[in-house]
Structure 1
Amino acid sequence: MKKNALSILIILLIISIVLIAGCGQSTKQTGNNGQSTTSTTQEQKGSTKYPAKQINLIIQAAPGGLSDTTARTVGGELEKILGVPVVCSNKPGASGAVAMSYVQASAPDGYTIGYVPVELTMIKALGFADIEPNSFDLIGSSNISPATVTVRADAPWKTLQEFIDYAKKNPEKVKVGNSGTGSIWHIAAASLEKAAGVKFNHVPFDGATPAIAALMGGHIDAVTVSVMEVKSGVDSGKLKVLGVMSDQKSEYLPNVPTLKEAGYDVNVSAWGGFAAPKGLPQNVKDVLYPAFEKAINSDKLKEIAKQRGFSVFYKNSDEFTKFANEQFDFYMKQIPAMGLKK
């Protein structure tokens, strides 16, 4: 009897083990529509709520400029909204192509995001990389700032026309700094060249900040960068702006004429926004897109914009995609016409 009881106990134990093991395996159930549905432990693990870890925000320019300031401010707001760290990394080079290529090659999982400047619409025409707006899922635009013609406060030119007259008499002598060969600020200087019939000596830097430092140090004669990037130098009395490349005067430099007022039809502005690798899942978009909208329209970014001298410029994903593609079409024609292709 004891033997039989022991055998029965062993059999029951084996059956129990089999049943328990079966709970972790894939099982089929019949839904209300009569079709079978499959549920697994692995599928349950795959439904982890986004975001579940650190988000990496890639910035295409050196620290301190318009791109860096905007991206870091928005990143800080995203941390509060999403509840995970947002770590910013600067990857300057090739007018943003280095950083944008990195983002494009990253996994489309919502954990690698890139700040994309106006150069997103230019680098294909320049021959730097096979990248265009449709290479990404565009999240939203964030900022805009017109170009300026800026010199040191002690420069001999009091007006834009004096600067132009000197450049005409001294071809390629005036050294104009920009944020990289083929960058929007290079385009700005080249546009002024074409409109005024002059020839500058273009000096590229990895971002606007080092270009401005070179100007202050007396290594170059002028920069064609944004209002925002020169505002602190103007406020401190070290720099002066001779003209603004926009249709309307800058709210931050109300006494500075536009280039159109000075007789030159030049309108060049830098803008920026955020993008993810192509193929972002819808459940990630549903979380990420509203979070960016809230961060870009935050009081913090508006406050920074007012302090630094740029404008908040929000367009949602669809609007930003349309806008960026229009800019892309423009620069695909404009850049070859200016002879700037690599």
Structure 2
Amino acid sequence: MKSNTKRIIALLLVIAAVAAPLAAQAKKYPTKAIEVTCLFGPGSAADLIARKFSDLAQGYLGQPLPVVNRTGGGQAIGYNYVKNQRPDGYNVIWTSNGIFTAYYQGNIDFKHEAFTHIAQVSYEPVSIAVKYDAPWKTVKEFMDYIKANPGKVRIGNSGAGTFTHLTAAALENEAGSRVVHVPFGKGLAFASLLGGQIEATIQLPSEVEGQYKAKQVRILAVTGADRVESMPDVPTLKESGYPLELILWRGLAVPKGTPADVVQTLVEATRKVVESQEFKAFAKTVAIIPSFKTGSEFQAFLDQDDKTNAVLMKQTGTSNR
């Protein structure tokens, strides 16, 4: 009798040992809300895209993804916060080229390798705009003019060290001549362009679309790999003979050390969102281009973008490294 009792107890212990991990596996990630840190304030482009992404991702992950705006410190507050969270997949950051700017300006003391990057979600090229009645009809004509007039061509941008400023610096390199960089906000840049105080301005397509359609400005080129849907007659720089592809990308990252299965769950949910018709329709309303990139492809892209930003920020005097 005692022997049977011992056998039964032993059998129950074996069953319990097997059942415990099975029960744990049943509670697959995610089991609670996933917090998304946005580095810019409510109503910003980053915020709007992050919130739309989060709404759609909830349908694939089965948990809410509340967006929390952690602004300030030249993006340092948000990046530092997420970097220091537990690497369990419940804190993600809505990131972009801004991580390079934050590092090279000295706002954070770590580079993009401090995170595991889930995927790129979208990108925006910038546009090179001149007055509609300007003498340059193509970007080549404009670049030739820059080369022939070193230090005389004034190009507006959205601020020192910004993506638009670095784009103008890249154009300098292609032209083999220097320009005068003039930092503006969006509205002032257009007023100065139309008033003849600057020869060109670098802006996001969404910022210049109204003036483009009203034939106040001519867009000589856009900087992405593809033409912008709302400006189908505007060529890319590559089409125009310049081997440049400069984009403002956006995506998701988690703290380094996040388990591989958790990362893969987020990768697949991100893929489904980016490929969904609802996200594609939303993208048109905010003039972004859905673009899914992950794994080694995304990592190689980040490494190259880091090198590009390092060179351009040093060239423009906006790097503190």
Q: TM-score, normalised by structure 2?
A: 0.72
Aligned pair 1:177/2:151, yes or no?
Answer: no
Asked whether the equivalents of residues 54 and 67 of structure 2 are also in contact (C-alpha less than 8 Å), the reply is: yes
- Residue 234 of structure 1 and its aligned partner are, at CA, apart by 4.0
Aligned pair 1:202/2:183, yes or no?
Answer: yes
Of 295, 302, 318, the match for 1:317: 295
Match of 1:53 in 2: 32
- Residue 112 of structure 1 and its aligned partner are, at CA, apart by 1.8
Match of 1:106 in 2: 85
SS of structure 2 residue aligned to 1:70: helix
Match of 1:212 in 2: 186
**Structure 2: runs of 5 or more not aligned:** 1-11
Of 203, 208, 216, the match for 1:225: 203
Asked whether the equivalents of residues 74 and 295 of structure 1 are also in contact (C-alpha less than 8 Å), the reply is: yes
Alignment partners' CA distance in 1, 2:294 and 2:143: 40
Alignment partners' CA distance in 2, 1:67 and 1:186: 19
- Residue 138 of structure 1 and its aligned partner are, at CA, apart by 0.9
Alignment partners' CA distance in 2, 1:297 and 1:320: 17
Aligned pair 1:245/2:223, yes or no?
Answer: yes
Code of the aligned partner of 1:244: V
CA offsets 1:120-177 (integer angstroms, 9 cap, x no match)? 34543343322322111111111122211246x7x76464667996999896895723
Farther off after superposition, 121-130 or 74-83: 121-130
Asked whether the equivalents of residues 157 and 181 of structure 2 are also in contact (C-alpha less than 8 Å), the reply is: no
Alignment partners' CA distance in 2, 1:248 and 1:288: 27
SS of structure 2 residue aligned to 1:53: coil
Alignment partners' CA distance in 1, 2:26 and 2:215: 57
Asked whether the equivalents of residues 145 and 270 of structure 1 are also in contact (C-alpha less than 8 Å), the reply is: yes
The two structures, once aligned, show a CA RMSD in angstroms of 4.2
Aligned residue pairs total 301
CA pair 68-224 structure 1, distance change in 2 beyond 3 A:
farther
CA pair 213-167 structure 1, distance change in 2 beyond 3 A:
farther
- Larger Rg: 1 or 2? 1
Alignment partners' CA distance in 1, 2:143 and 2:45: 25
Farther off after superposition, 281-290 or 267-276: 281-290
CA pair 304-281 structure 1, distance change in 2 beyond 3 A:
same
CA pair 92-237 structure 1, distance change in 2 beyond 3 A:
farther
CA pair 135-243 structure 1, distance change in 2 beyond 3 A:
same
SS of structure 2 residue aligned to 1:103: helix
Asked whether the equivalents of residues 143 and 314 of structure 1 are also in contact (C-alpha less than 8 Å), the reply is: yes
- Residue 314 of structure 1 and its aligned partner are, at CA, apart by 0.7
Match of 1:124 in 2: 103
SS of structure 1 residue aligned to 2:121: strand
Aligned pair 1:327/2:305, yes or no?
Answer: yes
Q: TM-score, normalised by structure 1?
A: 0.69
Match of 1:192 in 2: 171
Alignment partners' CA distance in 1, 2:282 and 2:217: 21
SS of structure 2 residue aligned to 1:129: coil
Q: Identity percentage over the alignment?
A: 24
Aligned pair 1:136/2:115, yes or no?
Answer: yes
Asked whether the equivalents of residues 95 and 181 of structure 1 are also in contact (C-alpha less than 8 Å), the reply is: no
